Amino acid sequence: MLFNPEIELMSIEKLRQIQNERLQNTLRRVYENVPFYKNTFDQAGIQPADIKTVHDLHRLPFTKKEHLRDNYPFGLFTMPTSEVRRLHCSSGTTGKPIVVGYTQNDLNLFSEVVARSLAAAGCMPGMKLQNAYGYGLFTGGLGIHYGAEKLGMTVVPISGGGTEKQLMLLKDFQAEALTATPSYALTIAEELKRRGEDIRDYNLKVGILGAEPWSEALRKEVEQGLDFKASNIYGLSEIIGPGVSNEDVDEQGTGSYIWEDHFFPEIVDRYTGEPLPYGEPGVLVLTTLTKEAMPMIRYWTGDITTLTYEYSEKRTMIKMGPIIGRADDMMIIRGVNFFHTQVADLIPDFPELSANYQVKLTRPTNMDAVEVGIEINPDFFTKKGISCEHLDHHESFDKLVGRLQKKIRDNIGLGMAVKLYQLGDLPKSDGGKLNRIIDLRPQNG
Ligand code: DLL
């Protein structure tokens, strides 16, 4: 179950042939069994047989989150629930969650793509993996769990949270791999440091981090703190869960491979929905090619990224860049489009800062105001003999704030207030995804 060249290195022609066959089966399956798809295809005047290849897919309408909500709970299933082996729900914000179902074959597929992802990240059979993704309705915990077992790893199913216990078991069991949200991996790294522990007493080699946007600055910080190599894992409940895409540990920073034999990706313009050429940022749209219980046709993930085919000796499959943000999370501040990840991207230029930040939105007058809170990296200052006790009204810190404000204005095109925080003083992940946006603007205008 390690790297399989017959799949991961198959020629593009072969890959397209497999994708086309699988797509046709999937379209037939949903048209015959799911009234929602029959209606939307009929309304678009398209029969499954009209879509001969993945290149015809753009003729079909998108499936969006609201369609999953409208068909709550089981309306998009192709079969009675008696044939469905597991249900998961997505981490919705308010109201009814999004429900997804898996047949036994879907669960096998889930394990296979997660095993493939973990292998790409450097996991090997026989290694121990501490799984700090939440177990339960969230797909992270169980999804990683069975994939790691399939790869032949020993799983420590600790779930998210309980940082003290995370550290105790990591040390006592000498796990080589850790799966967690990047923000929670940072919490673990900071706690280890706070306690004055020596990372050499641990045995971590790889981290497989995802479920939320993260930056190169954060990667550097967790890699230093936990002395491992961190790779990105991407996925979403609607498509399967984690394991739609994963970075190769030897190709860090060049994008994450999408397991295209099962999930066909497109990038479309976030306003018009028109397909965009490779390399241009837009909304990632995914079509499942092999899912049985709840296939998704042209699912509008809302995640903004880029797609690129670039030559690699390792795999022929397409790569996606980091997630810039979700289309519906984009803020329009005084007419400027803004994603909080743009702040994260500036942090590596400032060794004075740590990777944790937060963006606060207010409306003090009739204009929106943004305050960026960033934690300092105390080591930088103490090495220079500068005390970090008072961050307000101290020359070194005032200058740093000024430089940050300029950098933000030059790069993002917006004036923002900047507030420095002591390391550990901003909210941190207690086990799951971290919300970095605090929106205090009045909601009625
Ligand atoms: O977060 C599945 C997952 C679990 C992925 C564990 C990776 C690891 P949902 O709760 O349905 O599923 O949330 C999916 O999270 O549409 C993205 O907006 C975001 N997301 C997931 N992975 C990444 C990533 C899981 N690597 C939503 N980078 C997606 C940025 C990510 N955002």
pLDDT tens, 174-209? 999 999 999 999 999 999 999 999 999 999 999 999
pLDDT at 409 over 70: yes
When pLDDT is averaged across residues 206-226 and rounded to a whole number, the result is 97
When pLDDT is averaged across residues 381-405 and rounded to a whole number, the result is 93
Nearest atom in ligand 1 to the alpha carbon of residue 241 is 2
Cβ–Cβ < 8 Å for 67, 43: no
pLDDT of residue 40: 98
Nearest atom in ligand 1 to the alpha carbon of residue 98 is 11
Confidence band for 264, pLDDT divided at 50, 70 and 90: very high
When pLDDT is averaged across residues 304-327 and rounded to a whole number, the result is 93
Question: Which of 81-85, 91-95, 276-280 is the least confident region?
Answer: 91-95
pLDDT at 2 over 90: no
> Which residue shows structure tokens 């198959």?
10
Which residues, in sequence order, are CB contacts of 56 under 8 Å at separation 6+? 50
pLDDT of residue 91: 65
Cβ–Cβ < 8 Å for 243, 2: no
* CATH of range 1-325; options 3.40.190.80, 3.90.1570.10, 3.40.470.10, 3.40.50.12780: 3.40.50.12780
Establish whether residue 179 lines the binding site of ligand 1, counting it when its CB lies within 6 angstroms of any ligand atom.
no
pLDDT at 368 over 60: yes
d(CA 438, CA 161): 22
Establish whether residue 284 lines the binding site of ligand 1, counting it when its CB lies within 6 angstroms of any ligand atom.
no
pLDDT of residue 43: 97
Which residues, in sequence order, are CB contacts of 178 under 8 Å at separation 6+? 129, 130, 132, 170, 185, 188, 204, 206, 207, 208, 226, 228
Confidence band for 95, pLDDT divided at 50, 70 and 90: confident
Distance 110 CA to ligand 1 centre (A): 15
When pLDDT is averaged across residues 371-398 and rounded to a whole number, the result is 93
Of 123, 154, 157, 152, which is closest to residue 142 (Cα–Cα)?
Answer: 157
Distance 309 CA to ligand 1 centre (A): 22
pLDDT at 53 over 70: yes
- Best residue for ligand 1 mutational test, from 236, 319, 328, 433 (most atoms within 8 Å of Cβ): 236
Of 359, 374, 358, 355, which is closest to residue 218 (Cα–Cα)?
Answer: 355
pLDDT at 3 over 90: no
Q: Bridge partners of 332?
A: 337
d(CA 198, CA 167): 12
- Best residue for ligand 1 mutational test, from 212, 222, 301 (most atoms within 8 Å of Cβ): 212
Nearest atom in ligand 1 to the alpha carbon of residue 213 is 30
Which residue has the CA at smallest separation from atom 30 of ligand 1? 213
d(CA 249, CA 325): 23
Cβ–Cβ < 8 Å for 286, 70: no
- 123-173 pLDDT, tens digit per residue, is 999 999 999 999 999 999 999 999 999 999 999 999 999 999 999 999 999
Question: Which of 34-43, 51-60, 389-398 is the least confident region?
Answer: 389-398
Distance 320 CA to ligand 1 centre (A): 14
Establish whether residue 206 lines the binding site of ligand 1, counting it when its CB lies within 6 angstroms of any ligand atom.
no
Quick one: three-class SS letters along the chain?
A: CCCCHHHHCCCHHHHHHHHHHHHHHHHHHHHHHCHHHHHHHHHCCCCHHHCCCHHHHHHCCCECHHHHHHCCCCCCCCCCHHHCCEEEECCCCCCCCCEEEECHHHHHHHHHHHHHHHHHCCCCCCCEEEECCCCCCCHHHHHHHHHHHHHCCEEECCCCCCHHHHHHHHHHHCCCEEEECHHHHHHHHHHHHHCCCCHHHCCCCEEEEECCCCCHHHHHHHHHHHCCEEEEEEEECCCCEEEEEEECHHHCCCCEEECCCCEEEEEECCCCCCECCCCCCEEEEEEECCCCCCCCCCEEEEEEECEECCCCCCCCCCEECCCCEEHHHCEEECCEEECCHHHHHHHHHCCCEEEEEEEEEECCCCCCEEEEEEEECHHHHHHCCCCCCCCCCCHHHHHHHHHHHHHHHHHHCCCCEEEEECCCCCCCCCCCCCCCEEECCCCCC
Distance 63 CA to ligand 1 centre (A): 18
pLDDT of residue 327: 87
Q: Does domain 331-439 have CATH number 3.40.50.720?
A: no
Distance 183 CA to ligand 1 centre (A): 13
Distance 181 CA to ligand 1 centre (A): 9
d(CA 29, CA 263): 16
**Burial state string for 359-394 with b = 16 or more CB within 10 A and e = fewer than 16:** bbbbeeeeebbbebbbbbbbebbeeeeeebeebeee
- Best residue for ligand 1 mutational test, from 234, 245, 283 (most atoms within 8 Å of Cβ): 234
pLDDT at 1 over 60: no
pLDDT of residue 61: 97
Establish whether residue 247 lines the binding site of ligand 1, counting it when its CB lies within 6 angstroms of any ligand atom.
no
- CB atoms closer than 10 angstroms to residue 22: 19
d(CA 198, CA 175): 16
Average pLDDT over all residues of the chain: 96
> Which residue shows structure tokens 């699912």?
299
pLDDT of residue 209: 98
Confidence band for 312, pLDDT divided at 50, 70 and 90: confident
pTM: 0.96
Distance 244 CA to ligand 1 centre (A): 10
When pLDDT is averaged across residues 404-409 and rounded to a whole number, the result is 98
In the chain, % of residues over pLDDT 90: 93
d(CA 372, CA 352): 15
Establish whether residue 41 lines the binding site of ligand 1, counting it when its CB lies within 6 angstroms of any ligand atom.
no
Residue type, 200: R
pLDDT of residue 294: 98
pLDDT at 393 over 80: no
pLDDT of residue 371: 97
Q: Domain limits of the chain?
A: 1-325, 331-439
When pLDDT is averaged across residues 9-24 and rounded to a whole number, the result is 97
Which residue has the CA at smallest separation from atom 27 of ligand 1? 236
Nearest atom in ligand 1 to the alpha carbon of residue 209 is 8
